[in-house]
Structure 1
Amino acid sequence: MPDTSDKYARIMILNTKQDAADTVKIVETVKTEHVEVLALQEVSWSLLDRLASAGIADYLPYSVAAQQTWHDNGGVNVLYSVAPMEDVKQNLIPVESSSVPAATIEFAGTKVRFGSVHPFSPRPSNQGLWNRSLDSLAQLQHYDSLYVLMGDFNSTWDHASLRYLLGGRFLDSGEQAGEGLHMTYPAMLPVSEIDHIVHRQKRGRGRP
C-alpha cells in the first residue's frame, strides 16, 4: 500500500496521447505499482470521466487539472495524489504551451511541490513557443519550494533549452539515478528520452 510516512515517493508520468490511453490499465498500474503521485498530459475531460469510472479515486483521491486555455498542447495537464494537496494551483507559472497544475504534498514531514508539464514540441512552427515554455519553467529555479516537475518536456539533453531549464538548481532524476537513458518516445519503439522527472533543492526566494 502507498505510505507517505516514509521518505520515498512513488511517482508516475504518462502522456495519454490525446485521449487514446487505456484508463483501466492506468488505474491497474497505479494499484499494482502503489503509485502515490501521477502526472498526466494531453488529458481531455472525457478521459477524466473514464478515469473516474475506472476507479482512480480509490487509489488517488486528490487531483487538480490545469486551467484550460486556447493554446493547450493536445489537452490539459493533470496531477493525482494519494495524500491531501496543499496550495493547489491550476496554473503555477505562465507557460504559453499548456498550463502547469501544481500542488504541495507532504512526505515524511517534507513538503514537496509537484507540477505536471508539457511544452510544445520543437517543430519549426512551434519553435518559439517551445523555447518560451522551457524558459518559463526555468524561472522556477528562483523560488524556494522543493519542486518536482514531471511530464513530457518534448526535449532531450541534446537541447540547450532543457539544459538551460536545469541550470544549476534542477537535476534530471533519471540521469541522477545512474541508469543511463530511459527512452520514452515513440511508445511502440522508443528511441528518444523526452519525458523527464526533474527535481531541485530548497533554497531561493519567495514562491509562486
Structure 2
Amino acid sequence: MFLWLALIVCAGFMALRCLPASLANGRAVPELVSFVPLLFIPLVVCLVLAFLWRRRVLLVFTVAALGLMGWWHAGYFLPTAGVSAAAQTAVATASVDDGAARIMTLNTLAGRASAAEIVQLVREQHVEVLCLQELSDSFASELSAAGIDELLPYHVISDRASGVNNGGRNGIWTLAPMSNISQNLLPIETSSMPAATIQVGSATVRVVSVHPNSPVRGAQDLWEEGLSTIGSLSGYDHTYLIMGDFNSTWDHARFRELLGSAFVDAGATAGEGFHMTYPSNTVIPPLVEIDHIVYAKDSGIVVSELATATISGTDHQALLATLEAVG
C-alpha cells in the first residue's frame, strides 16, 4: 500500500508538470513543479522494491512513470549539443583570439555574495563572460576593488527596475570589447535587462543578463510577464546568449514557452545531468535548477561543459559553461 501511495504522489507531481502554461498559475503549482526532477529518486526506489517484492502491476506503472520522466529529461542524459575537444582546450586560458569562451552567471543575493570569491572563480576558471544578478549599488565597487576589471575590463549594469524591486540590478562583464550596449534592452517591471554585443571567434554574440520575478504570492503576473518578455527576444535577429536567474526550471511550461523553437537551454541539451543551483546556503544541497544559460538555436554557437560552484554570501550556486563558435 505504501508503494502505491508513493507512486500516486509522484503521479500527482507529474500531472502538474503536464498543465499548459495558462493553467500552471498561482503560487503552489510553479513551486511544486520545480521539484519534478527529484521524482527520479522515489520512482527508482519503487521500481527496485516492486521488482524484489514481485508486485507486477506496480512494476509496470512505475516503469511507465520512469519512462515518461526519462523522455521529458532526455537531454540531461543524452547530449544533443556539445563543444569540441579543441574548445575545451582553448578555455584553459582566457583569450579573445580563439573561438571559445568560459562563461558564468550568478545571483549575488542583493549584493551580499563575496566579491573576492567571484573574482577568484573568474580567474581560476578563465571566465570571459560574466553575468550577475541582484547587484546592490555598492557591489560593482566591491568587484572593482577585488580586481574584476583586470580580468574583465568591459562591463554594463542595468538601469533601475521601473516597478517592483527584485533584489537589485543586473550586470555583464566581458574580456572582449562590447558594442551596441543597452542598460534596458526591453521593458520589464522587476529587473531591467542589460545587453551588449561581443565577438567570440566567428560569432557575433548578443549577451543578456536576466532576472525575472519569482512566482511568489501576488506577483505571479510579474513572473509570467518577465518570462514572456525574455521569450520575445526570439523576434530579433541576433545570436543571443541569455544568462541569469530565470526563477523557473525546464519543467515549467512558461519556461518551455520562452524557449519555443528559437532558444536552447544548455543544461537540457548537454547530456551532463542536472545542475541544481538553489538554495545553496542551507545544510541540504541545492534542489532546483532555476539558473540557466540559454542561447539561440542553430545560430553558430553551442554551449556545454556545465558546472556549478559555491560562492559564500549568496543563496545561489554559480553556473559555468563553455561556449564555442561553430559557424
Which TM-score bucket, shorter chain as reference? over 0.9
In 2, Cα distance between the equivalents of 1:11 and 1:146?
15
Q: Which has the larger radius of gyration?
A: 2
Query: Where does residue 193 of structure 1 map in the other structure?
Result: 289
Give the length in aligned residue pairs: 203
Superposed displacement of residue 19, structure 1:
1.6
Superposed displacement of residue 84, structure 1:
0.4
Superposed displacement of residue 174, structure 1:
1.3
Superposed displacement of residue 7, structure 1:
1.8
In 1, Cα distance between the equivalents of 2:231 and 2:189?
13
Whichever residue aligns with residue 202 of structure 2, its letter is: G
Q: Which has the higher helix share?
A: 2
In 1, Cα distance between the equivalents of 2:122 and 2:187?
30
Q: TM-score by structure 1 length?
A: 0.94
Query: Where does residue 198 of structure 2 map in the other structure?
Result: 105
Contact 1:69–1:99 (CA<8 Å) still a contact in 2? yes
In 1, Cα distance between the equivalents of 2:219 and 2:195?
24
Superposed displacement of residue 124, structure 1:
2.1
Alignment of 1:152-163 (within 5 A): 152-163=245-256
In 2, Cα distance between the equivalents of 1:130 and 1:151?
14
Query: Where does residue 128 of structure 2 map in the other structure?
Result: 36
1:62 aligns with 2:175: no
1:90 aligns with 2:183: yes
- Point out which structure has higher relative CO (alpha carbons under 8 A, 6+ apart): 2
Unpaired runs of 5+ residues, structure 1, are 204-208
Whichever residue aligns with residue 103 of structure 2, its letter is: I
Whichever residue aligns with residue 194 of structure 1, its letter is: I
Q: What SS does structure 2 have at the residue aligned with 1:87?
A: strand
In 2, Cα distance between the equivalents of 1:69 and 1:115?
15
Q: What SS does structure 1 have at the residue aligned with 2:113?
A: coil
Deviation per CA, 1:101-160: give whole Å up to 9, x if none: 000000113110000000010112110000001011111111110001000000012211
Superposed displacement of residue 163, structure 1:
0.5
Contact 1:24–1:51 (CA<8 Å) still a contact in 2? yes
Superposed displacement of residue 95, structure 1:
1.6
1:25 aligns with 2:117: yes
Q: What SS does structure 1 have at the residue aligned with 2:225?
A: helix
Q: What SS does structure 1 have at the residue aligned with 2:196?
A: strand
Q: What SS does structure 2 have at the residue aligned with 1:183?
A: coil
Contact 1:72–1:99 (CA<8 Å) still a contact in 2? no
In 1, Cα distance between the equivalents of 2:236 and 2:213?
24
Contact 1:79–1:116 (CA<8 Å) still a contact in 2? yes
Q: What SS does structure 1 have at the residue aligned with 2:218?
A: helix
Query: Where does residue 177 of structure 1 map in the other structure?
Result: 270
Query: Where does residue 131 of structure 1 map in the other structure?
Result: 224
Whichever residue aligns with residue 29 of structure 1, its letter is: L
Contact 1:42–1:75 (CA<8 Å) still a contact in 2? yes
CA RMSD of aligned residues (A): 1.3
1:13 aligns with 2:105: yes
Aligned-pair identity (%): 49
In 2, Cα distance between the equivalents of 1:8 and 1:174?
18
Q: What SS does structure 2 have at the residue aligned with 1:98?
A: coil
In 1, Cα distance between the equivalents of 2:153 and 2:113?
20
Contact 1:42–1:73 (CA<8 Å) still a contact in 2? yes
